[in-house]
Amino acid sequence: MTFYKDKPMIRRDIAKTARRLPRPAKTKSERREEAMTRILDSAEKLFAQDGRNGVTVRALAKEAAVDPGLVHYYFENMDGVFRAVFRRKSVIVNAIRNEAMDAYLAEHGDAPTVDGAFEVFLRPMFETIWKDPTYWTNYVAIVSHANSSPFGGAEAMREAFDFTVGRFIDLLKRVAPHVPPQEIYWFYHLMSGSVTLTLAQTGRIDVLSGGLCKSTDMKSAFDSMKQVFSGGFETVMARHAKTAKVRAPRSVRKK
């Protein structure tokens, strides 16, 4: 009986003893990882708010609660920070899209379709963002700005996304071998601007539609975008089918 009566006191004594025990010191690698993550998280927030050229090392160090010297030590300068911010989450998006394209090509590589090509490229990106919007909001705002700016944006986009984008363009070429390559590149260029503007969730469509549409509604955005660009690409294919003497896409023939 005594044992059970005193059990809560024993537990309290054990807890007090555990609090007094020294915690294992973090390793150098752990401290480095923690500091770099804090810097990148803070940089992503500030870049989204103030743009690439609106953030200084001092402002970043203050936001991340680190010494400015650490920013230089880990990333050399703000260009290094900007590239690291871009790479960190582009790796996630690209892995998902590449995996989806691999699976699609394994099953439909001999006869890819317009609908399949846009589905496999657009859905993984939009779906990833609508499942965890808080994690992605600042990042996609930065990508949107970089995609529409000549001041360092083109280089960052090239490093982060060109390999995966190149695979998608190659898929479109396979779908439409009779369409001149330059038209496919222009088509992607126009789609890319639409994608990044939509992902930035600026709230512009909310105002224009009087609240009928929400820029945060990534599911509806994906559905509309896939319909618009799949249909647009089929129209391009149909226009060139006449001179190339190939059949237009089925959806175009039905019209």
Q: If we measure between CA atoms, which residue out of 178, 155, 74, 171 comes closest to residue 122?
A: 171
Amino acid at 217: D
Looking at the domain covering 86-253, what would its CATH class be?
mainly alpha
Q: 27-76: which CATH topology?
A: Arc Repressor Mutant, subunit A (1.10.10)
What integer pLDDT is reported at residue 19 of this predicted model? 57
So what's the pLDDT on residue 149? 82
Q: Which residue has the higher pLDDT, 16 or 229?
A: 229
**What pLDDT was estimated at residue 3?**
41
- Give per-residue pLDDT as tens, 187-240: 999 999 999 999 999 999 999 999 999 999 999 999 999 999 999 999 999 999
pLDDT at 25 over 50: yes
pLDDT beyond 50 at 161: yes
| C-beta of residue 128 within 8 angstroms of C-beta of residue 151 | no
pLDDT greater at residue 61 or residue 4:
61
- Asked if the domains at 27-76 and 86-253 fall in one CATH topology, the answer is no
* pTM assigned to the model: 0.81
User: What number is the average pLDDT over the span 54-80?
Assistant: 95
- Distance in angstroms (rounded) separating the CA atoms of residues 46 and 52: 9
Does pLDDT of 120 surpass 50? yes
> CA torsion 38→39→44→50, rounded to 10°?
130
Q: Calculate the average pLDDT of the chain.
A: 88
Q: 12-16, 21-25, 85-89, 141-145: lowest mean pLDDT where?
A: 12-16
Q: Could you tell me the residue ranges of all domains in the chain?
A: 27-76, 86-253
Higher pLDDT, 151 or 12: 151
Q: Enumerate helices (H) and strands (E) in the chain, giving the number of each.
A: 12, 0
Q: Is the pLDDT of residue 254 over 60?
A: no
